[in-house]
């Protein structure tokens, strides 16, 4: 009897989508539109974040080896001590010969006449995990025996950290506002869709239907519409993002900017879209009929 | 069947006393008219029986269920012992006649074969055989009300409660409908009809309870006082 009844209620959910096709269409469209807006803002913010990280990673710290350590191998031996310092991501040794070659590559060779490599020091080019802690890391690197001086662009680091924080806060606020607005719009659409059915619910109650009997078709309906809305939003986002990044990458050829590929984020996006779609569809529907059940 | 002892109903929102210390008994198998002017408390009394309103004081028993302080979760059980008919039919527009009637059986978890047999039987009983595939909008007012009666009847309720069932029908159809309710009553179902139709009440010699200002002012056979 239970299966018989459950089968009937599930069929009712699908029948209801068909008989209220316009409201079903409106619900799916609104869910889809809201999710695309939220997703696009989130993806934009993810790209800006990746871009800032990329720029941050280009901000190097250079640690100069003390002049007293002239032997290349002795200087290179400091590498492990530097790598052990907190917040150090990578350490690359540059010998004084290499440093001079690099320098000469950048400037006119005539200027370097009569100057030999001893003018330059052995050095390490260091990249940090988090440039927000650049000052502390600089101090820790300077404390390593054999390091004479550390050159770090603290002012750039501060600027990047400020930009990163501002972008994070703005995108967080924007996403939260969008989520609230979208949930409000989506739940109102679902509410509107159920409003026309309050009479039907009242009749069900009057013939002795239990609340769960009335709710189940709405749950099925909300589930199907939520999955449809979320799924279609995902496909549309995929297409839009692909189109947009394709165009952008075309115009940014040769630039240092790289965009996050959709494949990197597709599973979280799909999970968020389907999850939100189902939540709004099911809970929105069940919540919307709650008042009509109080008969 | 129905027992009201000293029942008072007050609407919280307006403070209106809709029923004032009402005593009433309807026994199994009776056919009863409940009459009275607009605002007399007839509909409130109906809603009291279906659990849509609660008594502020007094005792209400419907089909052996004590309605005083009954939990909402138990109301479906009470309602399954009742068949309710409304003036405006209240059919589900996008369901055909068969499904409108079958729906009440699905609510109680009846099997498909049982539903088919019983729905066909009640549709024949109310004179709608062969109309199962029609939508309510394709039927006349009288036919729609017959569908509503079929729906009220399909679960074999102990009592049918009809609120102004002939309110939207012409006199001929109204009489036909009353005769149908009388036929159902003769088959053993208790029938309680709320109505304004003085001619109908006086034409059928049935027990008539008159209510005015929330109080029962008359209880006798086949008489609707024309002065109220």
Domain boundary among B105, B130, B156: B156
Q: How far apart are CA A36 and CA A237, in angstroms?
A: 6
pLDDT, averaged across chain A: 84
- B→A interface, C-beta within 8 Å: 50, 52, 72-73, 75-80, 84, 90-92, 94, 103-104, 106-109, 111-112, 151, 155
ipTM value, please give it. 0.82
A23-62 pLDDT tens trace? 889 889 988 998 999 899 888 888 888 888 777 777 789 9
| B138: its two tokens | 């394709």
Low-confidence ranges of chain B (pLDDT < 50): none
Q: Does domain A60-152 have CATH number 3.30.70.3040?
A: yes
A234-251 pLDDT tens trace? 999 999 998 888 888 777
- Residues of chain B neighbouring A205 (CB-CB closer than 8 A): 75-76, 79
DSSP-based three-state secondary structure for B112: helix
Domain boundary among B125, B156, B187: B156
Q: How far apart are CA B17 and CA B214, in angstroms?
A: 7
Same domain? For B147 and B181 the reply is no
Q: How far apart are CA B34 and CA B224, in angstroms?
A: 10
Q: What is the per-residue pLDDT for B227? A: 62
Q: How far apart are CA B144 and CA B127, in angstroms?
A: 11
Q: Which domain holds residue B221?
A: 1-81+158-228
B127 contacts B177 by C-beta, under 8 angstroms = no
With a CB cutoff of 8 Å and minimum separation 6, the contacts of B101 are B119, B122, B123, B147, B150, B151, B154
**Cα separations in angstroms, A172 against A41, A114, A160, A175:** 10, 57, 18, 5
Checking if the pLDDT of A110 tops 60, the result is yes
Q: In this structure, are strands B159-163 and B190-195 parallel, antiparallel, or unpaired? A: parallel
Q: Which of A214, A193, A196, A199 is nearest to B89 (CA)?
A: A199
- Residues of chain A neighbouring B92 (CB-CB closer than 8 A): 200, 203
End-to-end CA distance of chain A: 26
Percent of chain A with pLDDT strictly greater than 90:
17
Checking if the pLDDT of A189 tops 80, the result is no
**Which value, in Å, is the radius of gyration of the alpha carbons in chain B?**
17
The answer to whether position B128 is within a domain reads yes
Same domain? For B11 and B73 the reply is yes
Checking if the pLDDT of A4 tops 80, the result is no
Please report the residues numbered 143 through 202 in chain A whose beta carbons come closer than 8 angstroms to any beta carbon of chain B.
199-200, 202
Q: How many domains does chain B have?
A: 2
Same domain? For B227 and B142 the reply is no
For residues A263-291, give the mean pLDDT. Answer: 88
| A89: its two tokens | 């991501």
Tell me how long chain A is.
295
Please, what is the Cα angle at B207 between B33 and B126, to 5 degrees? Answer: 55
Helix (H) or strand (E) holding A149: strand A147-152
DSSP-based three-state secondary structure for A278: helix
Q: What is the per-residue pLDDT for A55? A: 77
Q: What is the per-residue pLDDT for B73? A: 86
Q: Are A206 and B151 a contacting pair at CB < 8 A?
A: no
A184 contacts A176 by C-beta, under 8 angstroms = no
Domain boundary among B132, B156, B180: B156
DSSP-based three-state secondary structure for A9: helix
The answer to whether position B86 is within a domain reads no
For residues A120-128, give the mean pLDDT. Answer: 90
Residue in A4, A19, A198, A206 to test binding to B, most B beta-carbons within 10 Å: A206
For residues A67-75, give the mean pLDDT. Answer: 84
Q: What are the boundaries of each domain within chain A?
A: 2-55+160-293, 60-152
Same domain? For B138 and B39 the reply is no
Q: Is the pTM of this model over 0.80?
A: no
CATH of the domain at B50: 3.40.50.300
Same domain? For B77 and B1 the reply is yes
Same domain? For B56 and B66 the reply is yes
With a CB cutoff of 8 Å and minimum separation 6, the contacts of B20 are B8, B41, B213, B214, B215
Q: What is the per-residue pLDDT for A238? A: 94
Half-sphere exposure of B26 (CA within 13 A, CB side): 29
Checking if the pLDDT of A191 tops 90, the result is no
DSSP-based three-state secondary structure for A208: coil
Instruction: Give the max Cα distance, chain A.
Output: 105
């Amino acid at each position: 009897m239970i299966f018989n009844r459950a089968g009937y209620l599930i069929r009712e959910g699908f029948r209801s989508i068909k008989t209220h096709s316009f409201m079903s269409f409106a619900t799916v469209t609104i869910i889809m539109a809201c999710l695309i807006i939220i997703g696009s803002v989130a993806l934009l913010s993810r790209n800006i974040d990746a871009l800032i990280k990329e720029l941050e990673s280009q901000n190097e710290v250079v640690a100069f080896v003390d002049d007293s350590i002239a032997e290349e191998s002795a200087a290179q031996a400091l590498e492990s001590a530097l790598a052990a310092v907190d917040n150090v991501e990578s350490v690359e040794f540059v010998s004084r010969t290499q440093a001079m070659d690099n320098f000469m590559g950048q400037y006119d060779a005539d200027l370097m006449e009569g100057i030999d490599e001893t003018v330059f020091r052995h050095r390490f080019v260091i990249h940090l995990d988090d440039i927000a802690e650049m000052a502390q890391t600089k101090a820790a690197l300077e404390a390593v025996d054999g390091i004479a001086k550390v050159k770090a662009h603290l002012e750039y680091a501060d600027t990047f950290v400020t930009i990163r924080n501002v972008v994070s806060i703005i995108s967080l606020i924007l996403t939260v506002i969008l989520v609230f607005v979208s949930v409000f719009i989506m739940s109102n659409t679902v509410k509107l869709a159920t409003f026309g059915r309050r009479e039907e619910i009242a009749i069900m109650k009057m013939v002795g239907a239990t609340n769960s009997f009335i709710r189940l078709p709405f749950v099925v309906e909300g589930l199907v519409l939520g999955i449809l809305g979320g799924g279609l939003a995902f496909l549309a986002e995929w297409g839009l993002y692909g189109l947009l990044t394709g165009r952008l990458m075309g115009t940014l050829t040769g630039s240092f900017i790289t965009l996050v590929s959709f494949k990197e984020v597709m599973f979280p996006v799909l999970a968020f879209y389907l999850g939100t779609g189902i939540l709004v569809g099911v809970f929105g529907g069940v919540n919307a009929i709650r008042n009509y059940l109080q008969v | 069947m129905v027992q009201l002892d000293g029942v008072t109903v007050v609407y919280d929102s307006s403070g209106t006393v809709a029923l004032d210390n009402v005593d009433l008994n309807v026994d199994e198998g009776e056919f009863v008219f409940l009459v009275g002017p607009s605002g007399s408390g007839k509909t409130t009394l109906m809603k009291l029986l279906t659990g849509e309103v609660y008594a502020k004081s007094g005792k209400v028993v419907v089909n052996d269920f004590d309605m005083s302080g009954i939990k909402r979760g138990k109301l479906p059980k009470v309602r399954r012992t009742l068949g309710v008919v409304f003036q405006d039919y209240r059919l589900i527009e996008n369901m055909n006649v068969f499904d409108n009637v079958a729906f009440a059986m699905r609510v109680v978890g009846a099997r498909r074969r049982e539903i088919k047999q019983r729905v066909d039987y009640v549709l024949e009983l109310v004179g709608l055989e062969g109309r199962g595939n029609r939508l309510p909008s394709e039927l006349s007012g009288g036919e729609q009300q017959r569908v509503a009666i079929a729906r009220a009847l399909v679960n074999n309720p102990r009592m049918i409660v009809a609120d102004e069932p002939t309110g939207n029908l012409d006199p001929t159809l109204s009489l036909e409908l009353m005769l149908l309710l009388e036929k159902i009553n003769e088959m053993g179902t208790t029938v309680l009809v709320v109505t304004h139709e003085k001619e109908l009440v006086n034409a059928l010699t049935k027990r008539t309870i008159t209510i005015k200002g929330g109080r029962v002012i008359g209880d006798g056979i086949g008489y609707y006082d024309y002065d109220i």
